[in-house]
Amino acid sequence: MLLSVITKADLFNAYNVLFGSYNKISMDFLRYLQPSVLREAYRQRALETHPDRSKVLGESKTEMSERFIEATLAYEKLCSALKGDQIDILAGEIGVKGKSRQSPERPNKNKNLSDHFYKGCLPTRRLLIGQYLYYSGFISWRTLINAITWQKRQRPPIGEIALKWGMLSPYDIKRILTERSKEQRHEEKFGQYAWRKGYITPFELMALLGKQRRIQRPIGEYFIEQGILDAQEINKMVEKLRIHNG
C-alpha cells in the first residue's frame, strides 16, 4: 500500500531513524535535503541493521530485522516527501499528493522503486511464512514490510506484560519512560532501557520478549485481512513452508 498521508511527526521521526536524534530539524531543512545524502544515510543504516550481519555483530537477528524494517520505512517516507511530490502544510500535517491508493499486488510502473517482486531462486535456508511468500513471488517487498510492521503493532507493550507479571510497578514504568525521554534515548526500546538501568534482569527481559512474540497475532491474518490470500491459500503455503524447512 502506498503512503497517502505523512505527518510532520512521521517525517521528523523518519529523519531521526536514519540520521540520529541529535540534530534539530525543521520543514525547511527537510525540503533541502539532497536525495544523494538520503540514499547514503539509508545505505549506512541498512548495513548497520541488516539481519544477515547479526552473527558478525553478535546481536539478535529478530531485533536487527525490526531495526532494518524501521530504517526502510523511514527511507520510504522521506523519499515520498522528496520525489517530486507536492507537500502542503495544513493544520500541522503534510499531505503527500499525487499518490493513488491501490492493491499492493497490482502492477504499477510508477510505484516506489523500493517495492519489487523477488524473481530469484528460493533460498535453501529456513524461512518464516512472510519470507516464504515473498521469495516465492506471491507478495512484493513492500507488502512483506507492511505485514511485518502490522504484526509488530499487534504485540502488547513490554511494560504491560511486566506489569501483569509483577516485574514492574506503574511507578517503575512511568519513571522509565520519563528517564528515557530526559536522556533522549527514544530510539532505545523500553525493555532494553529497563534492563540497562537495572529495573529488570537479562533473564526477565528474555522472558518478556518471548511472551510478547508468542501472543502476537499470526502474520497470515494480515494477508487475509488485506484480501491478498484467503485462509485456504495460507494453509497451503504453510504446508509448503513446512516441507521447505524440513
Contact 198, 175 (CB under 8 A): no
| pLDDT attached to residue 236 | 93
pTM: 0.49
Compute the distance between CA of residue 6 and CA of residue 83 in angstroms, rounded to an integer. Answer: 14
Interaxial angle between packed helices 141-154 and 61-82, expressed in degrees from 0 to 180 and rounded to the nearest 10: 120
| pLDDT attached to residue 74 | 82
Distance of CA 172 to the CA centre of its chain: 27
Compute the distance between CA of residue 6 and CA of residue 15 in angstroms, rounded to an integer. Answer: 13
Cα dihedral 159/161/162/164 (nearest 10): 120
What Cα–Cα distance (Å) separates residue 166 from each residue in 45, 154, 173, 196, 213? 37, 22, 12, 19, 19
H or E, element range at 194: helix 190-196
Q: What is the pLDDT along the chain (246 residues), one digit of tens a residue?
A: 333 456 777 777 888 888 775 455 666 666 666 777 788 888 888 888 888 877 777 777 777 887 888 888 888 878 777 664 434 433 234 343 433 333 344 444 344 445 678 888 888 888 889 989 988 988 988 888 888 888 888 888 899 999 999 999 999 999 999 998 888 776 788 898 999 999 999 899 989 988 888 888 899 999 999 999 999 999 999 999 999 998
Provide the pairing of β-strand 87-90 with 6-7. unpaired
In the block, cell 491459500 appears at 233
